[in-house]
A and B are shown apart, each in its own frame.
Chain A
């Protein structure tokens, strides 16, 4: 069996597979093609690195502060529910 060549999977196609790749949702054959392509292609390797960096940076939005008025309003609703039930 000959080794997969980077031209078996175009860069344009590879970048569309990355979410499935990272989720482990690709079939075995495609996953191998992606892995072999990445070994040989600095452009796609950099793209994947940036894709991962983007995901990691997006995660930081979870740390945003909640305005006090929202917290107070909901606490009121909670107290109201507790006394009503």
Chain B
């Protein structure tokens, strides 16, 4: 167990509220985003996360530190969410949970030359327009990113939440979600590509 985790666990076991609140502050939103991959609504995801916190506290006595504390916490969360998702499976259309979202909805901004282009097959036909820093500093950029992440397929949303919002490393994300490194990277790449796309066109100079 890392020194940091050992310290956290000791404080929690001793009933230290400030430590608990700091952990909630740090992880709660990410937990809700991850839980939403398994259940029908944000309200249910909130309930699942509450359940998971109780499970985490009750399981703390048995935490042995074979993996980082936060990966262990997210595994408990994923178990709670899967159980809840299973119970509600009949009321949730399966397609809403598992299918890829409609790729066609996104208006292409850049384009590539065709594969049979005599000189530059697969190279930019219309390359990306330069982004302006002022646009990205605007609060609107965050609103756009958040909206795009919310409409990602659940598995992509889970991975981008842990990797890019929470800044976890690849191995820890695989551990928490029980997926392979290669799969994790494919999901992350798709998610990042869509988020970039949601900013492009608006972030470029003269964009709307």
Report yes or no: B142 in contact with A51, Cβ–Cβ below 8 A. no
Which of A19, A66, A78 contacts B192 (CB under 8 A)? A19
| A75 adjacent to chain B (CB < 8 Å) | yes
CB < 8 Å neighbour of A60 from B110, B142, B160, B192: B142
With A19-B185, A47-B128, A78-B20 already in contact, the answer to whether A58 and B123 are too (CB < 8 A) is no
Q: A46-B130, A58-B145 are in contact. Are A70 and B28 (CB under 8 A)?
A: yes
Interface string of A66-85 (1 = CB under 8 A from B): 10001101110111011001
Instruction: Tally chain B residues at the interface, Cβ within 8 Å.
Output: 50
Looking at A19, A51, A59, the one whose CB has the most chain B CB atoms below 10 A away is: A19
- List residues of chain A with CB within 8 A of the CB of B170: 23, 25
**Complex Cα–Cα for A64 and B30 (A):** 11
* Residue B1 interfacial (CB < 8 Å): no
How far apart are the CA atoms of A42 and B128 in the complex, in Å? 9
Complex contacts, A20 vs chain B, CB 8 Å: 185, 189
Q: Is A13 positioned at the interface, with any CB of B under 8 Å from its CB?
A: yes
Whether the pair B199, A50 counts as a contact (CB closer than 8 A) is yes
* Distance in angstroms between the alpha carbons of A47 and B192 in the assembled complex: 12
